[in-house]
Structure 1
Amino acid sequence: MTTRFSRAFAVALLALPNAARAQTPASACVADSGRELRQRLPALMDSAMIPGLALAIINDGKVVWSGGFGSRDSASGRVSASRTVFEAASLSKPVIAYAALKLVDAGQLDLDRPLINYTSYPDFRGDTLGNLVTAKMVLSHTTGLQNERIGSDSLRFSFTPGTRFQYSGEAFVLLGQAIEAITGHSLAESMKTLVFDPLGITRSSFIWETRFDDDAAVGHGRFGEVRKRTRPRFARAPSSLQTTANDYARFLVAIEQGAGLRPETWRLMQTPAVDVAPGVSWGLGWAIESDSTGKALAHHGDNSDSGFTAFTLLDIERQCGLVYFANSANGLGVVREISSIIPGSHAGLALLVYEIYNAPSALARASIARKLRSGGIDAAMAEYHRLQEENPEATPEKLLNDLGYSLLNQARFKDAIRAFRENIAAYPTSANVYDSMGDAYLADGHPTAARDAYRRATELDSTNVRARRLADSLNARLRH
């Protein structure tokens, strides 16, 4: 279930003191423009089941290479770094942060002033903690709000805003609303005015535009299944950016140079606001990785539900960086290999709890996916049992759970039930597998079986509010 640039560009930058932008001279920070990585990428993508990927590499303060690999969809169409539009997912957040900082420099937004001073927030529903939330807290992920609301969930504070780190996409929704109130325009229009037009970014938007239809990537799930392309009609600050590798690279070069920002604001963006983990802090819109060699800005994106993942890394002192977009939920499985072309220990990668492309479970996933394509669910389950006997650690609960939801997304309901049933047999004390089985039964039109599965999930985990709510709802429906 739930859980988005090539040549140096010429834009008119604000006149900024050179001393404020002093940087360490870059001497081939990225060796040979990442040639070795680029040669390895097709094989890495094949191993990770990534159909298509766009990559841009920055060295010495300019884009030295950009290109596409693989296909933008399952039928045809090569990926183009300059044309193919991807979902940027959470790589939207640094762009929102940049726009907010421009409003700070314009005197229209105060980082330390509560957002309720700019617009009203009915979603707080009288929670006085909402009165404390500031733009700085949003940008540094210290609001205490959850990452994402599911369905009719309310906004919830886990702690007093400003006291510690907790990643939150919902907080960026609030900041997006404040930006709209300040500018008097929609978020999509505001981003065009504040970011895209000044930086010469021409093929990007926070909403879907019909001009993207001619070259848009199509997302893929963890087993290679095609996902339905989302076309957002309304901007969502934390995640709805539609862009190309070339366009995002233009943005990265602007960030590296501090284009459009006052020197003190540019420095503040890179200053740790809260510690996250050893070697990792968070500034304003960016994770900051620090080690003995220096520091780098980083961010990842995960729109797995629609089949897109992304990652960017920027070393401002060495003037080098990269961005890549993948049309696969497996795209972050190769992030360590891709980021290795930028010097540093990259402590932030340890926080990304994603399946590495060559992990035993990932190899098992790929093997099962091949069997599913060639021989259907029977062949896939036979392969699962073979792998389970050969190496139990390669077949964790999540493996068949992911397969079941992959099949549900393809409306292969009975195959999904088969996968979840096998998972229940392997993990009979897991509440999650029964919760998932309930979803499959419900999708296949079996409300009684779905209710019973949800009930079993709550028996195994009394904190599973979702399963309890669904079980009660189905029970009430079945009584009438």
Structure 2
Amino acid sequence: MKLSALIFTAALAGCASSSLPTTQRLEGVALDGRVEALMAREHVVGMAVAIVDHGEITHLNAYGLRNRENALPLQTDTIMYGASVTKAAFAYMVMQLVDEGRIDLDRSIAEYLPRPLPEYEDYTDLAGDERWRQLTPRILLTHRSGLANMRFLEEDQRLRFHFTPGEHYAYSNEGIWVLQIVLEQGLGLDVGAEMQRRVFDRFGMTRTSMQWRDDFGANLADGYMMDGTFEPHDRRDNVAAAGSMDTTIADQARMWRGMFAGEGLSPAARAEWAAAQFPIRTAQKFPTIQFFNTVDARGEASDLSASLVGETWNGPNDRYFSKGGHNDWTGNLVICAERQQRCLIMFGNSVRAETIFPEIAELVLGQTDFPFWWTYPELQAHE
């Protein structure tokens, strides 16, 4: 059994043995103590947690180290890698453009681009396949493009459609990048500047950017892989709508407070951003192309669906939506309960933080039925 599978199994066992009533919601010093104990048990180098409740940031703290080698503490204003949580903010920005009538979620991207997609340098692989014309902003944001997660995962590292756009769910960074091209080439927008103005500045996020800033270097979180291997923070110079956001847990609390409240959006656009868009029935999330045509009844039972923000599902007491972010040294997860008006934000500069997400989520939100079995493939074989 792989190390990561063993750790996830231990995490689930801990959840089962310390189950809390659904109504119990831990915060403050009590939550800090539990988080620190869980981190010690699973050797998590550093992570940060925020809670938003009824429009207020009610908990904000950072734990452990941003750099273990120099014993530098992780703080609430430490720069952390946002990873794919970036996509939720990008979708929020797109919905502002929808409100303004500048883009329609259901129009073909061909109606926006000044020339066919395959004529752009990064998309010549799609020449001769007219299915690109079936792509729409909604299809791209809900990961139904038919493109691989990232082209370098293909054996020949070439881009291709694995199914007709819109027919299936298969998580795809490539699809988000196509929509970025549409905004930049079709609407003439600077995506980095629009994200800054429409999201980061709007919510007072003074230490968040889609590109590297030199002032980030003084208080920066490096990364740690599952086996503890050190990975220096990647200084991302290029704007990538799928995941280039550098941020802090304090800024993320501000962002999710504002987005949950729908600030800057019409009520209809805010509802659309978090609404179920397409059912997810696959056995697991990754690897996306390998599993796009599989079925697991657990997804149907919870009405697990793709949303513009990420995923949404029915839990035992609420309707939830969520967005995660992950690479080999980063683990981030946000879970929001619509009726309770409560969001849990967890960011880890150590990917081992993911091993304790189930327990922290239960401590803060009670039983949510979050699809850990689907989001983290290591869980599936050990439930």
Tell whether the structures are fold-level matches, with TM greater than 0.5.
yes
Contact 1:143 1:161 in 2 (8 A): yes
Pair 182,98 (structure 1): closer, same or farther in 2 beyond 3 Å: farther
Which one of the candidate residues 338, 345, 351 is aligned to 2:374? 351
Q: Using the TM superposition, give the Cα deviation of residue 252 of structure 1 relative to its aligned residue in structure 2, in angstroms.
A: 0.9
Which one of the candidate residues 312, 323, 335 is aligned to 2:334? 312
Q: In the alignment, does 2:354 pair up with 1:332?
A: yes
Q: Using the TM superposition, give the Cα deviation of residue 143 of structure 1 relative to its aligned residue in structure 2, in angstroms.
A: 1.4
Which one of the candidate residues 55, 71, 76 is aligned to 2:71? 76
**Corresponding residue for residue 126 of structure 1:** 128
**Equivalent residue letter for 2:45:** P
**Corresponding residue for residue 3 of structure 2:** none
Pair 138,35 (structure 1): closer, same or farther in 2 beyond 3 Å: farther
What SS does the aligned partner of 2:86 have?
A: helix
**Corresponding residue for residue 100 of structure 2:** 106
Contact 1:310 1:325 in 2 (8 A): yes
Contact 1:88 1:309 in 2 (8 A): no
**Equivalent residue letter for 1:184:** G
Contact 2:208 2:248 in 1 (8 A): yes
Q: In the alignment, does 2:295 pair up with 1:300?
A: no
Take 1:182 and 1:99, find their aligned partners in 2: how far apart are those partners? 16
Q: Using the TM superposition, give the Cα deviation of residue 60 of structure 1 relative to its aligned residue in structure 2, in angstroms.
A: 2.3
Of the two, which has the highest radius of gyration? 1
Take 1:131 and 1:29, find their aligned partners in 2: how far apart are those partners? 48
Q: Which runs of 5+ in 2 are unaligned?
A: 1-21, 281-298
Q: Using the TM superposition, give the Cα deviation of residue 197 of structure 1 relative to its aligned residue in structure 2, in angstroms.
A: 1.4
Contact 2:318 2:338 in 1 (8 A): no
Pair 165,355 (structure 1): closer, same or farther in 2 beyond 3 Å: closer
Instruction: Give the 5 Å matches for 1:250-261.
Output: 250-261=254-265
Which one of the candidate residues 91, 97, 106 is aligned to 1:97? 91
Take 1:338 and 1:176, find their aligned partners in 2: how far apart are those partners? 34
Q: Using the TM superposition, give the Cα deviation of residue 118 of structure 1 relative to its aligned residue in structure 2, in angstroms.
A: 2.3
Pair 351,240 (structure 1): closer, same or farther in 2 beyond 3 Å: same
Q: Using the TM superposition, give the Cα deviation of residue 183 of structure 1 relative to its aligned residue in structure 2, in angstroms.
A: 5.3
Aligned residue-pair number: 327
Take 1:210 and 1:179, find their aligned partners in 2: how far apart are those partners? 27
Contact 1:53 1:68 in 2 (8 A): yes
**Equivalent residue letter for 2:307:** G
What SS does the aligned partner of 1:64 have?
A: strand
Contact 1:294 1:344 in 2 (8 A): no
What SS does the aligned partner of 2:27 have?
A: helix
**Corresponding residue for residue 165 of structure 1:** 169
Take 1:232 and 1:58, find their aligned partners in 2: how far apart are those partners? 29
Q: Using the TM superposition, give the Cα deviation of residue 336 of structure 1 relative to its aligned residue in structure 2, in angstroms.
A: 0.3
Take 1:154 and 1:140, find their aligned partners in 2: how far apart are those partners? 22
Q: Deviations over 1:267-312 (max 9, x none)?
A: 11222111112311112122002134121111111121xx111010
Q: Using the TM superposition, give the Cα deviation of residue 203 of structure 1 relative to its aligned residue in structure 2, in angstroms.
A: 0.8
**Corresponding residue for residue 48 of structure 1:** 42
Instruction: Give the 5 Å matches for 1:144-155.
Output: 144-150=146-152, 153-155=157-159
Q: In the alignment, does 2:305 pair up with 1:281?
A: yes
Q: Deviations over 1:113-145 (max 9, x none)?
A: 112322353313332111111110112111121
Q: Using the TM superposition, give the Cα deviation of residue 164 of structure 1 relative to its aligned residue in structure 2, in angstroms.
A: 2.0
**Equivalent residue letter for 2:131:** L
Take 2:88 and 2:158, find their aligned partners in 1: how far apart are those partners? 25
TM-score norm. by structure 1 comes to 0.65
Pair 127,170 (structure 1): closer, same or farther in 2 beyond 3 Å: same
**Corresponding residue for residue 58 of structure 1:** 52
Q: Deviations over 1:12-34 (max 9, x none)?
A: xxxxxxxxxxxxxxxx9762426
Take 1:92 and 1:126, find their aligned partners in 2: how far apart are those partners? 32
Take 1:254 and 1:102, find their aligned partners in 2: how far apart are those partners? 13
Take 1:264 and 1:112, find their aligned partners in 2: how far apart are those partners? 16
What SS does the aligned partner of 1:72 have?
A: strand
Take 2:179 and 2:23, find their aligned partners in 1: how far apart are those partners? 35
Q: Using the TM superposition, give the Cα deviation of residue 172 of structure 1 relative to its aligned residue in structure 2, in angstroms.
A: 0.6
Take 1:32 and 1:40, find their aligned partners in 2: how far apart are those partners? 9
Which one of the candidate residues 157, 179, 202 is aligned to 1:175? 179
Q: Using the TM superposition, give the Cα deviation of residue 58 of structure 1 relative to its aligned residue in structure 2, in angstroms.
A: 1.2
Take 1:286 and 1:160, find their aligned partners in 2: how far apart are those partners? 21
Take 1:129 and 1:321, find their aligned partners in 2: how far apart are those partners? 38
TM-score norm. by structure 2 comes to 0.80
Take 2:128 and 2:239, find their aligned partners in 1: how far apart are those partners? 26
**Corresponding residue for residue 14 of structure 2:** none
Q: Deviations over 1:364-390 (max 9, x none)?
A: xxxxxxxxxxxxxxxxxxxxxxxxxxx
**Equivalent residue letter for 2:199:** V
Contact 2:211 2:246 in 1 (8 A): yes
Contact 1:87 1:303 in 2 (8 A): no
Q: Which runs of 5+ in 1 are unaligned?
A: 1-27, 360-480
Q: Deviations over 1:125-172 (max 9, x none)?
A: 332111111110112111121111217722222211112211111101
**Equivalent residue letter for 1:71:** L
Q: Deviations over 1:423-453 (max 9, x none)?
A: xxxxxxxxxxxxxxxxxxxxxxxxxxxxxxx
Contact 1:71 1:77 in 2 (8 A): yes
